[in-house]
């Protein structure tokens, strides 16, 4: 499974990115990430934005496995509660990226 986060927006407009492939992780870490994905409730593509949130951070999470790929995009006010732990995990591993 591959999980990718692209964080953009905010006042500075900075972009950060993270891509994690469970096949490259130690087994306990891979199982932890798979649990976070499963618990996140992100099981279909979609988006959720606040109309007044132009300066909010935006998050795009893409999850790919053997069966399918989904992409969910939302701003920081619309992060699904169940996905917050997964988002935190990915944000810790994010690094600055070019647009």
| pLDDT means over runs of 10, the chain (99 residues) | 94 88 98 98 91 84 96 94 97 90
| Model pLDDT, residue 16 | 96
Enumerate the domain spans of the chain.
2-96
Output the pTM of the full model: 0.92
Q: Do the beta carbons of residue 35 and residue 89 sit within 8 Å?
A: no
| Model pLDDT, residue 14 | 85
**b/e per residue, 34-72, with b = 16+ CB within 10 A?**
eebbeebebeeeeeeeeeeeeebbbbebbbeeeeeeebb
| Model pLDDT, residue 32 | 98
């Amino acid at each position: 499974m591959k999980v990718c986060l692209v964080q953009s927006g905010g006042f500075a407009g900075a972009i950060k990115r993270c891509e994690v492939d469970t096949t490259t992780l130690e087994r306990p870490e891979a199982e932890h990430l798979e649990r976070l994905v499963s618990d996140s409730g992100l099981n279909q593509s979609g988006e959720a934005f606040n109309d007044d949130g132009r300066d909010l951070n935006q998050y795009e999470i893409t999850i790919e496995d053997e069966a399918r790929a989904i992409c969910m995009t939302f701003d920081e006010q619309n992060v699904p509660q169940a996905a917050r732990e997964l988002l935190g995990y990915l944000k810790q591993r994010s690094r600055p990226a070019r647009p």
